[in-house]
Structure 1
Amino acid sequence: MVTEQALFSIPSDGVVRSSKIHRHHIPLFAGKLPNTVAAKRFSAALDRHDWNRNPLIYALRRKRNQRISVRSERRETYDALGTALMANCDYNPDSDHLFEVMCSTEQLAQQTGQLHVDAATGRKTCDPVYKALKDWEDAGIIVVLKGLDPDSRQQKAMRIWIKPEFFAGLGFSVAELREIVNKFRRWLERKGLRETYRDRYSEHLKRLARSNVADITDKHSLKNLLKKIKRHVLGEDAQQQDEKKRIVSDLEQHLIKTEEALSAAPAKEERRYWKLYAAWKAQQPTATSYALENTARQNRPELSVANGEAYWRYLVELIPPVGS
């Protein structure tokens, strides 16, 4: 819903003055919530959440000397934006860091109906979203990475991670959070989506590298913080077990691809000649097979085991007839 009409007041001097527009749009999540248990559970908790009773938001407002009760407009923004974060959050423990919001601030504003485009200039603004993110960053429930573009002297696009404290405010303990993340990993394995999500995360990192987004490369303290959060949620042992499972999974995938390659039509033909020669060689004295292989090297020095089918086929052709 758009409320772009300015409020007018007519003072005693008869001059009409327009007051500042209170807000352009009413916050409402209009994105798509993923069909995963993690996103649905956190979203359902947000629907029941009272931001006035959130201990970290309460502490922040006291620190700022603001009134304790959050205005209804800001609470509506919190609700819509929180759902957008849940919908775009990366719950995959295979990723470098947990709980990254894998979309831009502009996309968050679009999904919450808070992206305003000025009709005259075409300038895009989403101040309510920025203010809400600033509140949450100051309250210590999200991590925001910012950067300055040295050429344009403007702020780069932000990267956002959700901290466990955000979920704690919704009523989730670390143990419950760990259980949800582990269930998400098992769901990926059961659905065969682990590799898909890993590729998705890889594409996300490549997209960030191509875009004007704040770079985490030299932010060592931030990277250490994000690693600490991941260890805190997964647990040291769980993280090590997860890494072992990832390595085993990679090996299994490699073996599957190797077997598929060997079972292809050309490979079957190649193995047929190798089996024929191996069966003959097993019935011969070592000197006989050695002499035949030596003859092959002299007659066709360009052939070797590396040539595969051609090499084994030539050896089979050199096998003397039975009784000769």
Structure 2
Amino acid sequence: MNDHSITLQESGQLLYRQTRRGESNCQRKGQVKTHRNHQPKFIGKIPRGMAAKVMACIKNHDWRQNSDLIALRKHGYTPYSRIFDRSYQPKPLRITARSESREALSALSLALAANCDYSPYSKYMFEVILPVAEIAQRMGVLHVYNNGRKAYDVLLHALRVLEQLDYVVVHRDRESDSGQNKPMRVFLTENFFTSRGMNLKSVRQWLYKYRQWATSAGIAVSLRNKYERHQLKMARLGIDIDRHHSLKNRLNKIKRWVISPEIFNEKESIIANLNTSVIAHNKQHISSQDLSEVRYQMAWWTWSASDACTPIIRLKLENAIKTEFPHLFNHSTSTEQYYRLLLERAGIPLP
């Protein structure tokens, strides 16, 4: 006999003792048990450019034939709560994932691809510029209780699966509201693209065309400002990945994999042509004092556009100068002093 069907024999009759099995069903008073609150489905807007091409490849992907997922299920999942438990042994699962899991993986992949930063000039490539709660809302699994608590366990489980597949890199940090470690920054890896049938050559071509399209459409500046606002938000929250060296090495590896020499050459040629044209044009019309102003300004622009400078560092230096020397912005003749102070604060030799 099992634990739930305990029998007693009394005067030749079998008497069954009532167990606690199904007690939760009795408490619902005949109500149908909720299988799941939301069905995962991408409900966001499909952006233009490279994101649309990546999302098209994701929609045609069949998780039942994904070799990485099959290998992971044969070995077994490891939840994040047991990642540091050495005694935990993953349990092998059947090869084919359930339809609910496949729906969650597809919806999450579409939401990540739609809100990813595809700029090749960012410090770290393929960062998702969206909080996790909003990602859950875009994939239709954000559940808000009556007391206002937000839950998105479907997203967290699917994100952990993508992390074990090495499709994403997740940086977790302590959330101030709940005091728990939550995903704060998510980056797509090269395997995220190659597993969906996208090769390196195609990704590089899409990045190059995406940069050209953003420049011709006049939205390159707005995209850069959006990325800088995200960096400032992470800085205000105290989320810094500079101390996590293994994470930085992994992100740098992703950038080395995807960045082509053509993009770097285009960037260097644009900066060089800009410096040459501006200085050559102004040599005939401006004085020596104005020429030094142009040199300081171009030196600052060149350094701020290089990999040695991040958007956070640039904005911190500019805001510090504006706060300490507000009189520099009252007269146009103070531009030379403004850029000279910026170069000195950044430790750049004056031209």
CA separation of 1:29/1:149 partners in 2, compared to 1, >3 Å: closer, same or farther?
closer
Deviation at 1:255, TM superposition (A): 6.8
Q: CA shift at 1:56, angstroms?
A: 1.5
1:199 aligns with 2:225: yes
Tell me the distance in 1 between the aligned counterparts of 2:110 and 2:177. Answer: 35
Q: Which residue of 2 aligns with 1:177?
A: 203
- Structure-1 separation of matches of 2:22 and 2:176: 51
Q: 1:69 to 1:97 in 2, by over 3 A?
A: same
Residues 95-146 of structure 1 deviation map (CA, whole Å, 9 limit, x = unaligned): 1111111101100111111000112x22110000000000000111100011
Q: Work out the CA distance in 1 between the residues paired with 2:131 and 2:280.
A: 37
Letter in structure 2 aligned against 1:23: R
Q: Is the 8 A contact 2:72 2:165 kept in 1?
A: yes
CA drift of 1:157 comes to 4.6
In the superposition, the TM-score normalised over structure 1's length comes to 0.68
Deviation at 1:240, TM superposition (A): 3.4
CA spacing shift, 1:133–1:76, aligned 2, 3 Å: same
Does the C-alpha gap of structure 1 residues 74 and 244 become closer, same or farther in structure 2, counting only changes over 3 Å? same
In structure 2, the partner of 1:225 is 250
Task: Work out the CA distance in 2 between the residues paired with 1:256 and 1:78.
Answer: 55
Looking at structure 2, the residues matched to 22 and 246 of structure 1 have their Cα atoms a distance apart, in angstroms, of: 57
**1:94, 1:198 within 8 Å by CA — same for their partners in 2?**
no
**8 Å CA contact 1:143, 1:161 repeated in 2:** yes
Segments of structure 1 that go 5 or more residues without pairing to the other structure are 1-10, 268-305, 308-324
Cα 1:256–1:204 shift into 2, 3 Å = farther
Deviation, 1:254, is 6.9
Task: Establish whether residue 67 from structure 1 lines up as the match of residue 94 from structure 2.
Answer: yes
Give the residue type in structure 2 aligned to 1:155.
N
Matched, 1:105 2:132: yes
Match for residue 123 of structure 1?
A: 149
CA distance in 1, matches of 2:33, 2:273: 59
Indicate the RMSD between aligned Cα atoms, in angstroms.
Answer: 3.4
How far did 1:196 drift?
A: 2.5
Hey, which bits of structure 1, 4+ residues long, moved more than 6 A? 252-259
What is the TM-score when the length of structure 2 is the normalising length? Answer: 0.63
Contact 1:88 1:103 in 2 (8 A): yes
Q: Which has the larger Rg?
A: 1
Greater displacement, 90-99 / 124-133: 90-99
Find the counterpart in structure 2 of residue 134 from structure 1: 160
CA–CA separation in structure 2 for the residues paired with 1:109 and 1:207: 19
**1:40 pairs with one of 43, 52, 56:** 52
Deviation by residue 1:16-58 (Cα, 9 ceiling, x = unmatched):
244864311111211112122x111111112111011112212
The residue aligned with 1:241 is 265
2: CA distance, partners of 1:174 / 1:17 = 56
Shift in Å, 1:70? 1.0
Q: Which runs of 5 or more structure 2 residues have no equivalent in the other structure? A: 1-20, 77-91, 291-332, 335-351
Secondary structure class of the residue paired with 2:173: coil
CA distance in 2, matches of 1:133, 1:25: 17
Which SS does the other structure have where 2:170 is aligned? strand
CA shift, 1:239, in A, is 5.3
Q: Deviations over 1:204-251 (max 9, x none)?
A: 111221236x4212112211211111111113x345325414634764
Matched, 1:216 2:228: no
3-state SS of 1:100 partner: coil
Q: Which moved more, 1:142-151 or 1:59-68?
A: 142-151
Q: Is the 1:142–1:166 Cα contact (8 Å) retained in structure 2?
A: yes
Tell me the amino acid that sits aligned with residue 51 of structure 2. Answer: A
Please state whether the residue corresponding to 1:202 is helix, strand or coil: helix
